[in-house]
């Protein structure tokens, strides 16, 4: 599928070319914390926009890691799907709670996080994230739709 017809990996249901791609290319900047978080997920999903991930991380919170190191770390994980649970914005501060599903050698896993964002030098940037426990009650049941986005039942897909 070409970039002009594929849906954006961030789950917005918009075309990639009209959603996160202009942000990843530096043609546009995120207008909200949620838009920034979605574009950062897309960078992890694609595993090819590490300069964007670093550029959108507040310098006071950015780890001392290079694009090459981020790329090397990404080889063991494949990000599959994003679910935004809550997004708040108050002036120059924002918060987004999300669940990002990833696959590693042992299977499919949820990454539940509440992320903090601030407007810095006129642009939204990520500061810190708080990892949240994933409730056992919210675990995937065999007949649930698979979180990987295939549309199949979990037991027939990733389960």
User: Given a cut of 60, is residue 150 above it in pLDDT?
Assistant: yes
State the fold for domain 16-156: Nuclear Transport Factor 2; Chain: A, (3.10.450)
Bridge-based pairing of strands 107-120 and 78-90 is unpaired
pLDDT digits (tens, 9 = 90+) for 89-135: 999 999 999 999 999 999 888 999 999 999 999 999 999 999 988 76
**Residue spans per domain, the chain:** 16-156
pLDDT digits (tens, 9 = 90+) for 28-73: 999 999 999 999 999 999 998 999 999 999 999 998 888 888 888 7
Confidence of residue 17 (pLDDT cuts 50, 70, 90): very high
The per-residue pLDDT for 67 is 86
The per-residue pLDDT for 156 is 76
The per-residue pLDDT for 139 is 64
């Amino acid at each position: 599928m070409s970039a002009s017809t594929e849906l954006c990996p961030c789950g917005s249901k918009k075309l990639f070319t009209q959603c996160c791609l202009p942000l990843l290319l530096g043609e546009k900047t995120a207008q909200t914390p949620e838009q920034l978080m979605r574009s950062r997920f897309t960078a992890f999903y694609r595993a090819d926009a590490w300069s964007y991930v670093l550029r959108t991380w507040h310098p006071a919170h950015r780890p001392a890691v290079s694009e090459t190191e981020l790329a090397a770390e990404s080889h063991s994980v494949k990000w599959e799907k994003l679910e935004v649970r809550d997004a708040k914005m108050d002036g120059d501060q924002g918060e987004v709670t999300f669940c990002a599903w990833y696959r590693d050698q042992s299977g499919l896993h949820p990454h539940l996080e509440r992320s903090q964002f601030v407007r810095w030098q006129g642009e939204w940037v990520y500061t810190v994230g708080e990892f949240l426990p994933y409730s056992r009650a919210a675990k995937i049941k065999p007949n649930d739709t698979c979180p990987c986005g295939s549309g199949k039942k979990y037991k027939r897909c990733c389960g």
